[in-house]
């Protein structure tokens, strides 16, 4: 992160209260850690201890998904129920319940006791969820083939679903909204300038995230170092070689990464792994030198 950006952020946080939910800015970026030192009061809401929870004045323990019930939506647009598998830890609460309690102190009434009621509010306010409710996503239908459900290896559908098959969301195309969405996405799409690449965040199996670093002593060789993947032609245009350490900068943030070649990606794209030293969360124009 550039010095000026760090200074501006530190100034913005000076004497302010900061509320951080499900994020670890202190662990992600030392410059963010430095900027947070000026905050008067830091509240952190998370499911486990992180570098950010260590500096918190107040820690709000949230429940993991295994400790609560709710719904999840898959990449196929299927909404399914999930149920608590283990008892909640200590005095932890679901995120929506914590938000509701905080809102009540500010005179704002939010549903904070019933996950099904929260889902009903979601269905009323988001068009793609229209017509769905807990009863709908909890419906069970026959699954085929039925070939001895006790057979773990050759029994077709081994486990019979008793907790709900879920339901599909309606697609934007089905609602006749695709054209307007495409226009909005095109207008909002990041557009790299000359000598810039479109940096796209990607996931690695082993990274420097909170859930992996607790086993870093076992996974050190597999975690590796910060990398950036470039098409060989893009690297040639930039005058860099595979294995070379380069500087990557975007949105006032900068860091170093080792170049890797990948001829399957576009010449104008750079793939940057998340949680590997560069705080990238979405596609952004970036400079590599």
DSSP 65: G
pLDDT value of position 145:
65
Beta strands in 233-283 (DSSP E): 245-250, 253-261, 269-273
C-alpha dihedral (15, 21, 27, 28), degrees to nearest 10: -100
Task: Average the pLDDT over 269-278 and give the result.
Answer: 91
User: Between 182 and 166, where is the model more confident?
Assistant: 166
Smallest CA-to-CA distance from 246 within 199, 288, 195 is with: 288
* 70 and 161 together in one domain: yes
User: Between 132 and 144, where is the model more confident?
Assistant: 132
User: 140 phi and psi, to 5 degrees?
Assistant: -115, 135
Evaluated on CA atoms 65, 66, 68, 69, the torsion sign reads positive
* 164 and 219 together in one domain: no
* 44 and 78 together in one domain: no
Decide if 259 contacts 246 (C-beta within 8 A): yes
User: Between 37 and 154, where is the model more confident?
Assistant: 37
Calpha distance 102→108 (Å, rounded)? 9
Q: What's 137's domain CATH number? A: 3.40.50.740
Among 27, 43, 61, where does a domain finish? 61
Among 29, 46, 61, where does a domain finish? 61
For residue 211, pLDDT over 90 is answered with no
Evaluated on CA atoms 132, 133, 136, 138, the torsion sign reads positive
* 209 and 136 together in one domain: no
Task: Average the pLDDT over 55-77 and give the result.
Answer: 94
Count up the domains in the chain and report the number: 3
* 71 and 51 together in one domain: no
Among 129, 149, 168, where does a domain finish? 168
Q: What's 269's domain CATH number? A: 2.40.40.20
* 122 and 138 together in one domain: yes
What's the domain range around 153? 66-168
* 202 and 281 together in one domain: yes
Evaluated on CA atoms 274, 275, 281, 287, the torsion sign reads negative
Residue 185 lies in a domain: no
Task: Average the pLDDT over 20-37 and give the result.
Answer: 87
What are the structure tokens assigned to 9, written together? 């952020």
Task: Average the pLDDT over 205-233 and give the result.
Answer: 89
């Amino acid at each position: 992160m550039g010095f000026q950006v760090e200074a501006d952020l530190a100034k913005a946080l000076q004497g302010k209260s900061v509320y951080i939910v499900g994020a670890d800015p202190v662990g992600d970026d030392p410059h963010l850690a430095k900027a947070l030192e000026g905050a008067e009061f830091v509240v952190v809401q998370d499911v486990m201890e992180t570098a950010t929870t260590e500096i918190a004045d107040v820690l709000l323990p949230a429940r993991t998904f295994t400790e609560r019930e709710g719904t999840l939506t898959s990449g196929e647009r299927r909404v399914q129920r999930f149920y608590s598998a283990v008892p909640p830890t200590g005095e932890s609460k679901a995120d929506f319940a914590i938000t509701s309690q905080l809102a009540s102190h500010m005179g704002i009434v939010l549903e904070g006791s019933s996950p099904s009621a929260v889902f009903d509010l979601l269905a009323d306010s988001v068009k793609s969820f229209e017509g769905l409710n807990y009863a709908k996503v909890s419906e069970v239908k026959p699954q085929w083939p039925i070939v001895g459900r006790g057979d773990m290896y050759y029994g077709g559908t081994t486990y019979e679903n008793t907790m709900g098959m879920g339901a599909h969301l309606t697609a934007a195309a089905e609602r006749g909204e695709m054209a307007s969405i495409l226009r909005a996405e095109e207008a909002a799409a990041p557009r790299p300038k000359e000598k810039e690449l479109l940096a796209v965040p990607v996931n690695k199996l082993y990274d420097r995230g909170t859930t992996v670093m607790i086993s870093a002593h076992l996974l050190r060789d597999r975690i590796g170092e910060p990398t950036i993947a470039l098409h060989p032609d893009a690297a040639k245009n930039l005058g860099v070689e595979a294995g070379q350490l380069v500087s990557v900068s975007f949105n006032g943030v900068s860091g170093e990464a080792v170049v890797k070649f990948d001829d399957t990606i576009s010449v104008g794209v750079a793939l940057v792994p998340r949680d590997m030293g560069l705080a990238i969360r979405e596609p952004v124009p970036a400079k590599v030198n």
